[in-house]
């Protein structure tokens, strides 16, 4: 059984995130705590609506209380996970010059391609975030729900796929397709969790923003006070699936102000609520702050899958989350506008300040 470690009380530390949110926490060191639930979601595949609703109620509690939970019984086979991590290592082991041939800087308006090691310092530590990553996005060509579609011809698809890695793209999309199917199924569970019709979000997910990241974290020598793998942040979209390797590092900020370890559980996927869903649920679902600190002594790989709604869908509050007593808290914007603003902020482009008025 996991035990909870409580650190000696200290004056709270504070930090302003990239989205303007100010957070407070007691210490830079993390603790073990039984706050992140493990939910067997196999019931969402049942023909019995009562089974699906039973899972949805567990999701409702977790999404409202902490915004983070593990799922098991999700149906994604381990072979896809193993293949993705093998392909991640294959890419990150390339010489830096080769990786820079597909750097995200080639397409400034996109959040795809290669992000070199120590690109960002999200929390203004002494040392930059110790991570490198490769991002790619949704393509109808690899969407199991779309028949005979072509991949869009965009700067990202032309410039940001590495050359001379045979079958690399196709192998990654095999896993992406599995997660895409699961994400659409989860939107039905989320609808039930919000006490809506099960198909409420169906129109929102026909051509979703479904980006996938390969992330590589070398082990860090510096303390969390001086460096992080990735700094504290919230995700942009509706929700994220995080597939971890066997090495710990993911940490979640609890409502009580402690960093809690989200250690890997074999066969599980971590789900976290992101900002678009928090906006749509009028803050009923919690977009929880998280970070990575790799002090395992080993290289760590993870695969986040960021799921958001169709580009042109308005992020209007769902009807069960607004009332005269609980009015709408956020101005209405489209999913695409919001994600473009957040990506511009994160990449530090000049568009960020101009678009902030839309947020």
Q: Could you give the CA distance from residue 127 to residue 130 in angstroms, rounded to a whole number?
A: 8
If pLDDT is split at 50, 70 and 90, which confidence band does 355 have? very low
Q: Could you give the CA distance from residue 325 to residue 358 in angstroms, rounded to a whole number?
A: 25
pTM recorded for the entire structure: 0.91
When computed from its CA atoms, the radius of gyration of the chain, rounded to whole angstroms, is 20
* DSSP-assigned states of every residue in 235-257: -SSSEEEEEE-SS--EEEE-TTS
Residues 203-243: pLDDT tens digits?
999 999 899 999 999 999 999 999 999 999 999 899 999 99
Greatest alpha-carbon pair distance for the chain in Å reads 60
CB 205 within 8 A of CB 181: no
Cβ atoms < 10 Å from Cβ of 301: 20
Average pLDDT value for the chain: 90
| pLDDT value for 16 | 76
| pLDDT value for 236 | 87
What's the average model confidence in pLDDT over 37-53?
A: 98
Q: Could you give the CA distance from residue 19 to residue 118 in angstroms, rounded to a whole number?
A: 21
If pLDDT is split at 50, 70 and 90, which confidence band does 57 have? very high
What's the average model confidence in pLDDT over 333-356?
A: 63
Residues whose CB falls within 8 Å of the CB of residue 153, separated by 6 or more in sequence, listed in order:
none
Burial 195-218 (b: 16+ CB within 10 A, else e): ebebebbeebbebbbbbbbbbbbb
Domains and CATH numbers, the chain: 13-358 (2.60.120.330)
| pLDDT value for 354 | 35
What's the average model confidence in pLDDT over 42-68?
A: 98
């Amino acid at each position: 059984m996991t035990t909870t470690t409580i650190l000696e009380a200290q004056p709270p530390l504070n930090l302003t995130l990239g989205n303007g949110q100010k957070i407070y926490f007691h210490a830079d060191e993390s603790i073990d705590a039984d706050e992140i639930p493990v939910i067997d979601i196999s019931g969402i595949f049942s023909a019995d609506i009562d089974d699906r609703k039973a899972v949805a109620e567990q999701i409702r509690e977790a999404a409202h209380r902490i915004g983070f939970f593990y799922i098991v019984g999700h149906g994604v086979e381990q072979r896809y996970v193993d293949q993705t991590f093998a392909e991640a290592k294959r890419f990150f082991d390339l010489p830096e010059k080769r990786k820079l041939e597909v750097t995200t800087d080639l397409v400034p308006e996109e959040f795809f391609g290669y992000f070199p090691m120590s690109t960002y310092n999200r929390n203004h530590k002494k040392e930059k975030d110790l991570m490198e990553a490769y991002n790619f996005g949704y393509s109808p060509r690899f969407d199991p729900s779309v028949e005979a579609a072509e991949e869009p011809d965009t700067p990202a698809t032309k410039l940001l796929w590495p050359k001379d890695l045979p079958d690399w793209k196709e192998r990654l999309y095999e896993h992406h397709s599995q997660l895409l199917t699961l994400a659409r199924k989860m939107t039905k569970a989320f609808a039930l969790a919000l006490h809506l019709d099960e198909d409420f979000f169906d129109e929102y997910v026909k051509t979703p923003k479904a980006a996938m990241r390969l992330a590589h974290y070398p082990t860090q020598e510096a303390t969390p006070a001086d460096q992080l793998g990735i700094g504290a942040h919230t995700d942009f979209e509706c929700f994220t699936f995080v597939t971890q390797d066997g090495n710990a590092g993911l940490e979640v900020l609890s409502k009580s102000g402690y960093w809690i370890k989200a250690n890997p559980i074999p066969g599980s996927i971590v789900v976290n609520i992101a900002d678009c869903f928090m906006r749509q649920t009028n803050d009923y679902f919690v977009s929880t702050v998280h970070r990575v600190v790799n002090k395992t002594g080993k290289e760590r790989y993870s695969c986040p899958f960021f799921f958001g709604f169709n580009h042109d869908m308005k992020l209007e509050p769902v009807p069960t989350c607004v009332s005269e007593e609980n009015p709408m808290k956020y101005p209405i914007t489209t999913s695409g506008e919001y994600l473009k603003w957040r990506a511009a902020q994160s990449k530090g482009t000049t568009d960020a300040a101009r678009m902030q008025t839309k947020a």
